[in-house]
Structure 1
Amino acid sequence: MTDHTINKAVLRRLLSYALDDPKKLGYAILLLLVASLADVSGPWLIQHFIDHYIARDQYPLDMVAGLALAYVALMLTAAWFRYKQSLQFNQIAISVVQRVRKQLFERMINQPLSAFDYMPTGKLVSRITNDTESIKDFYVFVIGTVLKNVVLIAVMLVVMCLLSPRLAAVVAVLLPVVMAIMVIYQRKSADAYRTMRDLLADINASMSESIQGMSLIQLMRQEQAFSQQFSVLTRRHLASQIGVMKLNGLLLRPLIDFLSGVALLSLVALFGVSGTELIGVGVLYAFISYLGRVTEPLIELTQQLSLLQQAMVASERIFGFIDARQQAYGDDTRPLASGQLACRNVSFSYDGQQSVLDGIDVELPHRGFLALVGHTGSGKSTLASLMMGFYPLTEGELTLDGRPLASLAQSVLREGIAMVQQDPHVLSDTVRENVRLGRAVSDDDIWQALEKVGLAGQIRLYDAGLDTRLGSGEANLSAGQKQLLALARVLVARPKILILDEATANIDSGTEHQIQQALQILRQDMSIVVIAHRLSTIIEADEILVLSRGQIIERGNHPQLLTQQGHYWQMYQLQQAGEHLHKLEESAGVPEAS
């Protein structure tokens, strides 16, 4: 959207959702037309009664009763058809919002991970909730109101022309002036509504991040700072709303009421000059009645510009996300036959400026065990993400089963390679659903996977077993147990390549030994890639890569790297010293810090 005009392409696209079902929209417009005709016929009946009966002082009972019944019937008809058309437009609006939300969410979960690197969670939630609600308001209020009022005004102008073309010309002068006011309002309000909508997204983002990081906020005693930050956002949002309200108060009802008053005085003046012989009291009454009925639709139309402006801003943001580049996959649908993995001169940068990986070369045979070690920021997790296909390579080639990763279909990639992350996500659902994640997995397979990772005993302690809900108050897992649960998810799928990203960081030594035994069994049919901080978990690795600033500075197996007495040897000696000190403390009876 430009700064001062409505983006016609966005408006056409927004309207296209309703046009996909022309029968419903046509039915709603038909109801609207009937209601408008019934509504406009009321003053015409009264005009007819005044000029033909009151002015002549004749009151035939049958005609008066007929007119009264006809008037009541028209008003009931107008009310009933307006009710039906309102329901119809609401159904259309809700249907459109559901479609947009489904489409937006589907596109969102298929975005490349790079799309979420700099997008706060609250802003994404705002796209699906607040922005789609603006689209619903657009259909319910803007489209419904515009159609209703345009039809109503058109019908009234036709009736007024039939009654008196001269008086109709006076009223018609009002319309272009109102259109000019509407254009001025739209131009003045565009930036204001865009700012207000952006600030609302910032407020949602601030709330989401504060809730997610509540433990950190309270730990660092930053409650006041975050509260002030939130207060600043809400004050700015309030100021933008007040600015919009001032604009509404100036350009909407006061000006249109003033123009309506001018038109009414013009009618009275013309009536006084021409006399009742040329116009008639009933015609004047009808015109005054229609003028009042024209004024409210005009005010209502102008007021809907604010909702139109919000819907345009919201639609621009929604369509921008829907049209964004999706995660690209290949067309090769053949399942992986082996866990062979190769990186050849792989380089990568997140922002295109700062290199994160530089010239990585590695060969992992089927059933191999590769370990990645290095200090924080060395590129270990980035290399694992590239192996998963989360990001496209900046340079080089990465192959799985001898085939370029970029050529593999999504189903092949996600079924053939799996990852257990350091901080796995636990759904607010049952243990069963947390393990199978919508896949067709039997309870026996789930229990077997839980047994292998050492979590079955804990689950059996719960009364509901696999039906125990996690993350909702029934049961809470420790950080180590969450990693075991994530490993069980992988075990039921049996991928060809398994990546463990610091997955044993929060597990005690006993559980770690149990996982190592499970990995030895899994190696019979899959390759293992382990990103490790605790070097005791990778002693059996076939090859260990030591990364530093995105480059491989050392490589070899555990004995070879110790013989080199380089960076890996220093890391190993420090960890051995720490474990030795811990054992001395335990033997001396020093209590472990809580």
Structure 2
Amino acid sequence: MKEQAVNNAVLKRLLSYALTDKPNLVAAIGLLLIASLADVSGPWLIQHFIDNNITRDEFPAIEVAVLAAAYLALMILAGVFKYAQALRFNRLAIDVVQKVRKQLFASVMNQPLSAFDYTPSGKLISRLTNDTESIKEFYVSVIATFLKNIILILVMLAVMTMISWRLTLVVLALLPIVVGVMVVYQRKSAGAYRRMRDLLSDINASMSESIQGMSLVQLMRQEEGFKAQFSGLTDQHLKAQIGVTKLNSMLLRPLIDLLSGIALLTLVALFGFSGTELIGVGVLYAFLSYLGRVTEPLIEMTQQLSLLQQALVASERIFALIDARQQRYGEDLSPIASGQMACRNLSFSYDGKQKVLSDINMTLPHQGFLALVGHTGSGKSTLASLMMGFYPSSEGVVELDGRPLESLSQPVLRQGIAMVQQDPHVLSDTVRENVSLGRAVGDPVIWQALETVGLAGQVRQYAEGLDTLLGSGEVNLSAGQRQLLALARVLVEQPKLLILDEATANIDSGTEQKIQHALAVLRKNMSLVVIAHRLSTIMDADEIVVLHQGEIIERGTHGSLLSERKQYWQMYQLQQAGDHLHQLEDVSTEAVEN
């Protein structure tokens, strides 16, 4: 009963989308009513022709011609209005799907990053595509079919009652049983369809992850393992589909056919016992015709229950995502005046149990340069995410320009802070769009940004210049060029605080020099927070903070930390030794080649 109540709530919400376009919905229902009246009038005319003409052996030319013309006109009218109502319902369905997809995509875009930590992208894509298509089928097939058939049945019952109320009782006895079958089917099929949808989502997620990580899969020789995983999911999906098919075979058409057959035998038996005195031949024909027309809509409606259940399950998933918690921002609309940043007694935990950061205190003045270093898992990237406002702090506060991040509105926060990550995302679009990112920026500003980061010369070599497509196979940027592109994006709309998360980890020395030059230019207008793996990039930092297991264990300048000969000194010595070994290897390689 609880599951049924949930479905009723989902169904009510799903139908509410159609009510936003009441004129179109009313017009579609009106067209259905006219088409149904025209459709059921045909057997009534034939019954009149049988009882008043054939049984009496009277065939007045004018009367027969009028009946034939009226029958033909009614059939044409029914066809035209059925076509018109189908167009109306399709338009209504497409409008609803557009609304739902827009709401769903907007909800996904506004969710906090923590929501994406445990949700594969394939599942989100499945909800945006497959689940919304189920809603379209709900309006085009389910709603249109139910309204059409309910109106058709009511009109036929009214006409049948006018012809013979006794025989109508035989047909009415069939309806409660059919409704009971439909209710049983809906309850038993809910779990099966929900499992089918979940498995389809898992299949999409598996495909998405496999394609995105194809290089890793092939390098680790895991092709067979991923194929086995995908095969297992598809096998489970097939079993779920077979279970639904068995349920359909038991409760849908066979049972309805049996009930309609019983009703048919009852009508024939009544005719056999009473003869033409109680039931005329024309009346029997009309009822047999209407019985077929009543049972077919009932069968059609029960068959649509599978689509109804799919739509309800899909809608549950869609509405759960639409109603999910959104990223929260403050209401402070005052622009950021300086890049002054402070972390006060800052602690954070992803799961609410194990702390990733503990009691972090630091201050960065405007135009200052702060470096964060530490071994993998020390909390550097987590601290950067808190500075960006991606996650709310568990304890303490992060301040920018003397104001808590939680108090800043979205435009103020996102214009005030920017981040360049280790592997910046490149859009499958032009250089211009990759730099502007949809912002109203002129080409001179874009060229100036590219010039500052040292990427303008490379772009000028492209035949299409700023119109060159990136990320689609035409031009592939190196890791260093992607970093420079990301910096150019920052220069277009200069923030007050720039965070670089391992931005120089996978680049050559030449690109590193370009980035350092760009940072020197940027520092004139903003503050810098650099998470560094290469310690050579942070030697000029005003303060270097060393993190270990989420805590600050050292802080100071490059020189002062070396003089203390602790963890920072050890990290520096190891890197110096590594660089020295690389130099020896290069020298040896050159000697062998010569």
Structure-1-length-normalised TM-score: 0.98
Deviation at 1:584, TM superposition (A): 2.2
Partner of 2:439: 439
Partner of 1:147: 147
Cα distance change of structure 1 residues 318 and 158 upon mapping to structure 2, 3 Å threshold: same
Cα distance change of structure 1 residues 60 and 403 upon mapping to structure 2, 3 Å threshold: same
1-structure distance, mates of 2:418, 2:106: 22
> Which residue identity lines up with residue 292 of structure 2 in the other structure?
G
Deviation at 1:586, TM superposition (A): 2.3
2-structure distance, mates of 1:524, 1:2: 62
2-structure distance, mates of 1:467, 1:518: 24
> Which residue identity lines up with residue 116 of structure 2 in the other structure?
F
Does 429-438 or 582-591 show the bigger shift? 582-591
Partner of 1:23: 23
On the 8 A contact 2:480/2:511 being kept in 1, the answer is: no
Q: Are positions 1:562 and 2:562 aligned together?
A: yes
Partner of 2:542: 542
2-structure distance, mates of 1:112, 1:504: 27
Q: After the TM superposition, which residues 483-502 of structure 1 pair with which residues of structure 2 at under 5 Å, given as runs? A: 483-502=483-502
Deviation at 1:4, TM superposition (A): 5.0
Deviation at 1:506, TM superposition (A): 1.9
Aligned to 1:272, the other structure's residue is in SS state: helix
> Which residue identity lines up with residue 249 of structure 2 in the other structure?
G
1-structure distance, mates of 2:109, 2:592: 44
Q: After the TM superposition, which residues 510-549 of structure 1 pair with which residues of structure 2 at under 5 Å, given as runs? A: 510-549=510-549
Q: After the TM superposition, which residues 380-529 of structure 1 pair with which residues of structure 2 at under 5 Å, given as runs? A: 380-529=380-529
Partner of 1:75: 75
Deviation at 1:480, TM superposition (A): 1.5
On the 8 A contact 1:388/1:418 being kept in 2, the answer is: yes
Partner of 2:237: 237
Q: RMSD between aligned alpha carbons?
A: 1.2
Deviation at 1:504, TM superposition (A): 1.1
Question: Which consecutive residues of structure 2, in runs of 5 or more, have no partner in the other structure?
Answer: none
Question: Which consecutive residues of structure 1, in runs of 5 or more, have no partner in the other structure?
Answer: none
> Which residue identity lines up with residue 39 of structure 2 in the other structure?
D
Q: Are positions 1:249 and 2:249 aligned together?
A: yes
Aligned to 2:366, the other structure's residue is in SS state: coil
1-structure distance, mates of 2:6, 2:69: 47
Aligned to 2:589, the other structure's residue is in SS state: coil
Aligned to 1:366, the other structure's residue is in SS state: coil
On the 8 A contact 1:347/1:395 being kept in 2, the answer is: yes
On the 8 A contact 1:5/1:187 being kept in 2, the answer is: no
2-structure distance, mates of 1:273, 1:380: 91
Partner of 1:581: 581
1-structure distance, mates of 2:62, 2:174: 40
Aligned to 2:569, the other structure's residue is in SS state: helix
1-structure distance, mates of 2:528, 2:107: 32
> Which residue identity lines up with residue 53 of structure 1 in the other structure?
N
2-structure distance, mates of 1:218, 1:539: 39
Cα distance change of structure 1 residues 442 and 592 upon mapping to structure 2, 3 Å threshold: farther
Deviation at 1:224, TM superposition (A): 0.8
Aligned to 2:545, the other structure's residue is in SS state: strand
Cα distance change of structure 1 residues 592 and 519 upon mapping to structure 2, 3 Å threshold: farther
1-structure distance, mates of 2:235, 2:149: 36
Deviation at 1:2, TM superposition (A): 4.3
Deviation at 1:525, TM superposition (A): 1.2
2-structure distance, mates of 1:191, 1:299: 22
Deviation at 1:5, TM superposition (A): 5.4
Partner of 2:196: 196
2-structure distance, mates of 1:104, 1:411: 22
> Which residue identity lines up with residue 469 of structure 1 in the other structure?
L
Partner of 1:316: 316
> Which residue identity lines up with residue 529 of structure 2 in the other structure?
V
On the 8 A contact 2:340/2:402 being kept in 1, the answer is: yes
Partner of 1:173: 173
Q: After the TM superposition, which residues 282-431 of structure 1 pair with which residues of structure 2 at under 5 Å, given as runs? A: 282-431=282-431
Aligned to 1:377, the other structure's residue is in SS state: coil
Partner of 2:92: 92
1-structure distance, mates of 2:176, 2:591: 86
Q: Deviations over 1:304-360 (max 9, x none)?
A: 111111111111111111111100000101110000000001001111111111100
On the 8 A contact 1:6/1:312 being kept in 2, the answer is: no
Aligned to 2:199, the other structure's residue is in SS state: helix
On the 8 A contact 1:498/1:529 being kept in 2, the answer is: yes
Deviation at 1:514, TM superposition (A): 2.0
1-structure distance, mates of 2:537, 2:182: 70
Deviation at 1:3, TM superposition (A): 3.9
Cα distance change of structure 1 residues 446 and 121 upon mapping to structure 2, 3 Å threshold: same
Aligned to 2:277, the other structure's residue is in SS state: coil
Aligned to 1:372, the other structure's residue is in SS state: strand
Aligned to 2:495, the other structure's residue is in SS state: coil
Instruction: Calculate percent identity across the aligned residue pairs.
Output: 73
> Which residue identity lines up with residue 60 of structure 1 in the other structure?
P
Deviation at 1:588, TM superposition (A): 3.2
Q: Deviations over 1:203-240 (max 9, x none)?
A: 00000000000000111111111001100000100110
> Which residue identity lines up with residue 342 of structure 1 in the other structure?
A
Cα distance change of structure 1 residues 434 and 2 upon mapping to structure 2, 3 Å threshold: farther
Aligned to 2:177, the other structure's residue is in SS state: helix
Q: Deviations over 1:127-176 (max 9, x none)?
A: 10000001001101110000000000000000100000000000100000
Q: Are positions 1:37 and 2:21 aligned together?
A: no
Aligned to 1:256, the other structure's residue is in SS state: helix
2-structure distance, mates of 1:227, 1:567: 45
Deviation at 1:460, TM superposition (A): 1.2
2-structure distance, mates of 1:355, 1:6: 37
On the 8 A contact 2:501/2:530 being kept in 1, the answer is: yes
> Which residue identity lines up with residue 424 of structure 2 in the other structure?
P
Partner of 1:206: 206
